[in-house]
Chain A
Amino acid sequence: DAKTTQPTSMDCAEGRAANLPCNHSTISGNEYVYWYRQIHSQGPQYIIHGLKNNETNEMASLIITEDRKSSTLILPHATLRDTAVYYCIVRVDGINAGNMLTFGGGTRLMVKP
């Protein structure tokens, strides 16, 4: 699986958009970008994933650059409850993909009032 690089920590004002970058310059053509987050004292929570097109769901938007070497997770209106560690994971999908998620250090997002 391709390696990812994320900033260690970020701050965001409540109500503003939080933009979390992820670099995955060695990504291969069949690898997806996944985002999970972990709120304190809870297990990781799936947020969104994508291959090459931008994706949006009720939680967030995922913007993937055209060369797929980086991506940005966008929380459009951050709330205090979005304070968490956000993990960017790159891997293939499907039954032959292998089974583990490889978590790096993630980005600790602090949403401030």
Chain B
Amino acid sequence: DAGVTQSPTHLIKTRGQQVTLRCSPKSGHDTVSWYQQALGQGPQFIFQYYEEEERQRGNFPDRFSGHQFPNYSSELNVNALLLGDSALYLCASSLLDRNYGYTFGSGTRLTVV
């Protein structure tokens, strides 16, 4: 049973560019959350998607947007990249009404130069 799959694993972008990160949730899960993890810090919640709609959003600017598809997969888009956006971006899938059993992917390491 495949867990959460994220692509790409590593990415280098230039300031001002746009980036799209992708996530396929664990089989049977209907909810996808995205987290940003800066070096040496814990993950910070960006937003969560369920039934193709954003249910909750953390303290991130509008440059960060997302989408969920009918097959529950999800994309994270970041526009006008800043150097400070360099981080590990983690996708977590779950069932909507369960906080335990979040399954995280291994993340996409984004470097902005």
Q: Which residues of B contact A91 (CB under 8 A)?
A: 99
Query: Considering only CB atoms, which chain B residue lies closest to A103 in the complex?
Result: B42
Please determine whether B100 and A49 come into contact, CB atoms closer than 8 angstroms: yes
A29 in contact (CB, < 8 A): no
Q: How many A-B residue pairs have CB under 8 A?
A: 68
Binds B, one of A15-23, A39-47, A65-73, A75-83: A39-47
Please determine whether B100 and A43 come into contact, CB atoms closer than 8 angstroms: no
Q: Which one of B31, B58, B99, B104 contacts A43 once the chains associate, using CB atoms below 8 Å?
A: B104
Interface size on A, residues (CB 8 A): 27
- Range, interface on chain B: 20 to 34
B41 in contact (CB, < 8 A): yes
Please determine whether A43 and B33 come into contact, CB atoms closer than 8 angstroms: no
A105 in contact (CB, < 8 A): yes
